[in-house]
Structures are given as structure tokens and as C-alpha cells.
Structure 1
Amino acid sequence: MTDVLRIGIIGAGGIAREAHLVNYQKCGKRVEVVAVADVVEETAKECAEWFSIPHVFTDYEQMLEKVELDAVSVCTPNKFHAPAAIAALEAGCHVLCEKPPAMTAEEAERMAQTAESAGKILTYGFHYRHAPEVEVLKRFVDAGELGEVYAGRVHALRRRGIPGWGVFTNKELQGGGPLIDIGVHMLDTALYLMGYPEPDLVLGSTYQKLGNRKGVGVLGEWDWENFSVEDMARGMIRFKNGATLILETAFAANLDQLEEMNVTLMGVEGGADVFPLGIYQEKHDTLVNLTPAHLPQKGYHEREIERFVDSCLTGSQPLSTPRQGVVLQQLINALYQSAETGEPVKLESVKADSR
């Protein structure tokens, strides 16, 4: 194993700078970011100047060919996740790919197969898994404190939170709106806490009611005239073990709160909300609520990058696995398919490795 991880960055936009690069810097001498690639040369050069990156490219394939790299962060729009990740894996690099895994379940499957055949790490940027609330609740779930978890609820909702930057409202480049952007975070968190059960049936609906007209935006002014994604998605997932999960996600909806990101679990022996963390049980003929007195304060992205580096240097498996990525992408695509056809989608047998 190498002592210093040589990192390349594919896509030099906001997520690369604000989540990946600043946290690679915190890893100290264990990491050296040596190359960055972005199709916009000015963006790549500016990023390289800010973070003192010696090699700059407009073509990531040239970067992979000309620079010796151990690992790569893929921070492109969703459309380019699969080709960039596959190219990096085939070049012998470990890969941290931003969420969602890809545009389709078939792409996610090819990514997983490539990682397996290359013998390299492939993991995804589900940084909420690294939240202290999630880590604590996972220990409680695994210890049986909630018993059989048979129902859950996922909320990733914004009142007027359509991004006014990037390509988040471009269906061709992103594959969808809030479901594939913010909803995927809470969906993955719920599945992770539940042990990634095998899905059975999916029913979904999507709406475009507010995003395609001019309005107030708390995340900047968006291009409402070219808004091509849903502004709300709702759905239900039934798993083969009988459990069900209700999902609601929106960039824009007439709600009280400006934003809510949360997962609720209900089990035979107890239930829980994740943000803020609360565990609800019945003990000694009394209904009790349990809340932590203290939680670590390290940032979610910082912990994610730190663990990715640890995995690359030691060969240990990251929290998010390629097979889980396939199941998650299958669910996202099935929700969109159901919304388009108006019919529930029966899923073929696809199992994820639970953790």
C-alpha cells in the first residue's frame, strides 16, 4: 500500500471545491491532490490555482493517461458519473463518485462490475451516512433497540429551494430534480439504517407545478423558462420482507419550513427520527423518549473524505458499496418510471450487501 494517496479530481465545480478539495487538504501528508480535469478550461485552471494543483486538463481521459493517480473524485453532472468512474477504475484508480450513482441502474451495474473486476474501491458521496446522528442510530438499530423495522418515512423538502446555479434543473444532464438530487440522500440514509432490504414494488408520482414559473427563490434565481425536471416527487416502496417506506421530496412546495431533511423509522420495539435524533420506546409501562446529550461535531463531508482515504490506504470497505448503489439507482429509476406510466413497478430480485 502507498503511504501518500495521489488524487485526481474530475469536475472542478462547487461540490469538488467545497466538499472534496477542502477536506482532502485536512488529511495532511496522507494525501496529495495532483491533477484536476474539467471541460471548462478556465474552471479547471481557477480550481488548480486555488488549491495548488500542479496538473490541469480539459479531458479526464488524458489526465488518467498522463498522471500517475491512486484515486479519483468524480464531481461531474450526473450524466457523466458512469463513464468517468468506469474510466478511472479501468485506469487502476479507487473512485469516490458523487451521488447519485448514475443515470440508470444499468450504468450503476456496469460501474459495480468494473470495480469488482478491477479490484478497486468504488464508493458514493452519501455524506449523510457519516452524520453522528446516523452513526448513533445505526448502532441502536443493529443492537435490536427498535426491533423489526417495518415502516419508514423519508422527507427531503424545500419550500423554495430550487438551485439557482449549476445544472440541477436540466433533466438531460441530471436525470431528474429533487428525487435524484436531495431525495436520494435521505432515501439512502433510510435504506442504510434498515440494512438495505431487498425492494419488491414501487409506486411514484412527480409534479411540475412551481418550478416552471417565476417565483421567489431562497437559493438564487433559477431559469424557470427552461425548468425540465420535477419540483416534487412522492412515492412508496414495499420490500420483500414486508416493510414499507414513504418518500416525499421537493425543490419547491408550499410548506411551513424552508427545508426539512429527515428519516423516520418505526419498529416493533421502538421508533426514531434522525434529524434531530430522537428514539421513542415503551419501557416499564412508560412511553419514553431518548435523546443524546452529546454528539461529535465533525463535518459530514470531512468524515466522508477521511474514511475514503483510510479505505484507499488500508483496503477496507467504505460505508457505501457498489451493490447498494445499484439497488438505490434501481429504486430511483423505478419511482420515475411509475410516475411516467401511472402504474406500480415490480422489481426484479436485486440484493445489496447490508452493513
Structure 2
Amino acid sequence: MAKVKIGFIGCGGIANGKHLPGMAQQKEYVDLVAFCDLIPERAEKAAKEYGTPDAKVYTDYHELLADKSIDAVHVLTPNIAHCEITVAALEAGKHVLCEKPMAATTADAKKMLEARDRTGKMLTIGYQYRHFPMNQVAKGIVDDGWLGDVYYAEATYLRRRGVPTWGVFTDKSKQGGGPLIDIGTHALDLTLFLMNNYEVDYVVGTSFEKLGTLLDPKFQGQVDSMGNQNSWNNKTYDVEDSAVGHIKMKNGAVINLRAAWAINMAEDNGANNEAYATLVGTKGGLDTVSGQARLNHVVASQPAITMVGNKVASYIPGFSAGPAPVSKEHDIWVKALRGEGDLFVTADQAFVVTRILDSIYESSRTGKPVYFD
């Protein structure tokens, strides 16, 4: 079978941290042939490090999509551009892996679904947390019935002082929001995936614009939990710094979502600086806050806690301190492109995530719940 030809639109942080090293592990099956970025030096650097000898560099994604030899593209741009570029790529006959979130708004996410259906091309979204070992173990616990009927869950990703100080994360015009759409999206996707429940009744929520506009000198120059210098420009900061959401499912279950880049809470997004989920059921409960699947159940009529699975320090190739782990996300994607398996993260599931996030922002603006159809 001929190698699959892949193009990349966006060669910034997430491209170099996850997608380029992840796809480089698949070079037996793929050729990385095209790289596009508004900053040409970024595209040139990516092409030199990861591309084929004849890899092409672009600053206009339309030119990349015009190359009929390219089979699939990764859309790795700021959130606001996901819809426009993904729809154009699908219409150009390319399969698409779009980085999370699917889109900045429900309307844009719907356009992406419609383009997928219209073209018959594959579309998946970059929710890598599902693939983490502890979360795969947690999924097995739920699917094997250890929790019984899951009626309550918490989706959490909190940073005490972790505002991204690179890229355009604090620019609402390019990202659509702050920590809710950036990291809360991971916690929510993970929780919905573990519950296998995407039927939403209504959403109510609030976003807070409190700490992001403050610059406390004592925090400037300190390194945050993500290893970044903890100072940001409070004059240009125009997204929320934290948000909460209450999601009522049609079967009566409830999910409480919390996300923050800056919040005065001692809790700091669990072990390994990751998103985590807490699930409560009629037979037992579990969480992944410790970096493992922690099962809370009853043994011999006594409350018991069982740690299931091994603690693993890193899961993403470009962010690994030691040897780069194999990227399950890209392994599954490449198998799907070769016709050897199905997509693991469907666009329909990701659409629900985007709709919930968008509804939390709307509820915060209006002070009213948002009901789903």
C-alpha cells in the first residue's frame, strides 16, 4: 500500500509538541509532504525537521489544499480558524484531523459536520486524553459495570496560576474563550467518554473575568505548573480566567465542569498537571486525580479504595521528558487513513463538547439555562 501523504496547517506549539513528533513515529506508513504557517520560518523549520526531502512550504493554506496528491491534513491553528480551514480541506477532498476544540461556536461545529457528511471524508478531533493509560483503565472499569448506574460526575482542569503566556490564548478574537475552551474542553470530553453519555437536557454556567486582568508583581517571573514564565499582559487579556458549568443529562445524570488558568484554590488540577474526571455510581465511584484510576467500592461490606493500573509520567511525544511514548492518537488516525480501523474520536461526539462549552458561555452572558433539543 502506498504511503499516505499528510499536510499540516499551523506549525506552532501544538504541532511541534504533539502532531509532528506523533506522526513522525508513523513514517513507515505516511509521508509528511506539506507545511503551512503564516510565519514562514515555522513552516520551513517543520519541513526541515519532519518533512520528506521534497516537502513543500506554504503561507496560504489554500495553496496547500490545491495539491491533489495530499490525502489528509492536520488543522492546528487558533480555534476561530478551525471551521473555515476544515470545511475547505474536506471540500478539497482531504481527510482532516482538527485539533481541539472542534470549533469556537456551535454554528461553526455544525458546518464542519455538514461538510463531512457532504464530502464523505473522515473528520476527527484531537482529544488525546482519552488515550492516556489511566483513562483507558478507567473506561474499562466503567464498561465492566463496577460503578453501576453513573448519576453524577465532575470534569476538572484547574491551574492556580497557569495562564498560557505564548501564542494567542488570551485573545478572544482568535480563540473564542479562555480556559473553558482551552483545557476545560479536555476534561469535559474525557468525562462524556467515560460515561458514554452524550444526551444533554440543559446547561447552565458562569465564566469569571477576575484575575486575568490583574498583574501581581510577586508572580511575575515565576514558573507555573506547565513550566512557563507566569506573567501575562493584563492590558490585552480579554478572556475568562475560570469557568464553571452544570450539565444536566436527559437520563437525570449531572456533570459539574470546572476549568481555570488562574484561581485562588489550593487544588491544582491533580497529578501530572492533567485533566481528570470523577464518576459516581450506584455500585462504586472512581477518579483519575491521582494519575491512576482510583476505584472507590465496597469489599466484604467495607468501604475500600483500589488503585488500578500503573502511574505513567508522560503521554505525549513532544512533551515527554524521557523516551517519547508511542502516540496512540496518531496510530489510530493513520490506521483509519489506511482503511485498517475506525476513528476513535468522532466529530459527532466532539460536536456535543463544543455545544456544551458554547452553552456555558451563553448562559453566563444571559444568566439563563440553555436547553438542548
Q: 2:287 is matched with which residue?
A: 273
Q: 2:19 is matched with which residue?
A: 20
Q: Contact 2:202–2:248 (CA<8 Å) still a contact in 1?
A: yes
Q: 1:263 is matched with which residue?
A: 277
Higher mean displacement: 253-262 or 26-35: 253-262
Alpha carbons of structure 1 residues 293 and 29: separation in structure 2 relative to 1, 3 Å: closer
From 231, 241, 246, the equivalent of 1:231 is 241
SS at match of 2:338: helix
- Displacement of 1:234: 0.9
Distance 2:309 2:128 in 1: 23
From 279, 283, 288, the equivalent of 2:299 is 283
What pairs with 1:72-87 in structure 2 (closer than 5 Å)? 72-87=73-88
Higher mean displacement: 244-253 or 110-119: 110-119
Distance 1:316 1:206 in 2: 39
Deviations 1:35-70 (A, max 9, x none): 011122222222222324510011111111035111
Q: 1:331 is matched with which residue?
A: 356
Distance 1:296 1:182 in 2: 20
Deviations 1:53-98 (A, max 9, x none): 5100111111110351111111000011011111111122111100
What pairs with 1:1-355 in structure 2 (closer than 5 Å)? 2-53=1-52, 54-66=55-67, 68-215=69-216, 216=219, 218=224, 219-220=228-229, 221-260=231-270, 261-275=275-289, 276=291, 277-294=293-310, 299-300=315-316, 302-314=327-339, 316-348=341-373
Q: Contact 1:35–1:67 (CA<8 Å) still a contact in 2?
A: no
**Identity %, equivalent residues:** 38
Distance 2:209 2:68 in 1: 44
- Displacement of 1:210: 0.9
Q: TM-score, normalised by structure 2?
A: 0.89
Q: 1:351 is matched with which residue?
A: none
Higher mean displacement: 211-220 or 103-112: 211-220
Deviations 1:179-227 (A, max 9, x none): 0000000000000111133011111011111111213252223222100
Q: Contact 2:134–2:310 (CA<8 Å) still a contact in 1?
A: no
Q: Contact 1:200–1:238 (CA<8 Å) still a contact in 2?
A: yes
Q: Contact 2:296–2:304 (CA<8 Å) still a contact in 1?
A: yes
- Displacement of 1:295: 6.1
- Displacement of 1:340: 0.7
Specify every segment of 5 or more residues in structure 2 that has no aligned partner in the other structure, as ranges.
318-326
Q: Contact 2:102–2:109 (CA<8 Å) still a contact in 1?
A: yes
Distance 1:286 1:93 in 2: 55
Amino acid at match of 2:257: L
Deviations 1:230-252 (A, max 9, x none): 00101100010000011111000
Q: Contact 1:197–1:241 (CA<8 Å) still a contact in 2?
A: no
Distance 1:297 1:229 in 2: 31
Q: TM-score, normalised by structure 1?
A: 0.93
Amino acid at match of 1:278: R
Distance 1:8 1:210 in 2: 39
Superposed CA RMSD in Å reads: 1.7
- Displacement of 1:292: 2.2
SS at match of 2:235: helix
Distance 2:29 2:56 in 1: 19
Alpha carbons of structure 1 residues 82 and 58: separation in structure 2 relative to 1, 3 Å: same
Amino acid at match of 1:36: F
